């Protein structure tokens, strides 16, 4: 469980990007639970973009939508991005 969500569910594209960009599930959950900033997504409309600064000096960006799952509200992660290029 992450903050207000009963689960963080990863789209296959997000899983692919995690591997390519060396981003862990734990890092994604930290971004969603305690972002440095959030703003509305334009792609997809109605989505959420959450960003968090890392100790390595880059930013992790998580794009997700809220959706109702079988046990309650879920964060459905569409993609993840590392801005700055350094893996933590």
Instruction: Give the model's pLDDT for residue 70.
Output: 92
In this prediction, residue 88 has a pLDDT band, given cuts at 50, 70 and 90, of low
- Report how far residue 40's alpha carbon sits from residue 25's, in angstroms, rounded to the nearest whole number: 22
pTM for this model (two decimals): 0.91
Q: Residue 32 pLDDT more than 70?
A: yes
Q: Residue 50 pLDDT more than 60?
A: yes
Instruction: Give the model's pLDDT for residue 16.
Output: 97
Question: Which overall architecture, per CATH, does domain 7-83 show?
Answer: 2-Layer Sandwich (3.30)
Q: Residue 87 pLDDT more than 70?
A: no
SS3 18: helix
SS3 36: coil
């Amino acid at each position: 469980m992450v903050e207000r969500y009963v689960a963080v569910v990863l789209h296959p594209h997000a899983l692919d990007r995690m591997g390519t960009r060396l981003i862990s599930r734990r890092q994604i959950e930290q971004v969603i639970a305690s972002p440095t900033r959030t703003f509305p997504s334009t792609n997809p409309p109605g989505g959420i973009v959450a960003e968090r600064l890392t100790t390595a000096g880059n930013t992790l960006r998580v794009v997700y939508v809220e959706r109702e799952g079988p046990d309650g509200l879920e964060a459905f992660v569409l993609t993840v991005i590392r801005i700055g290029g350094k893996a933590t």
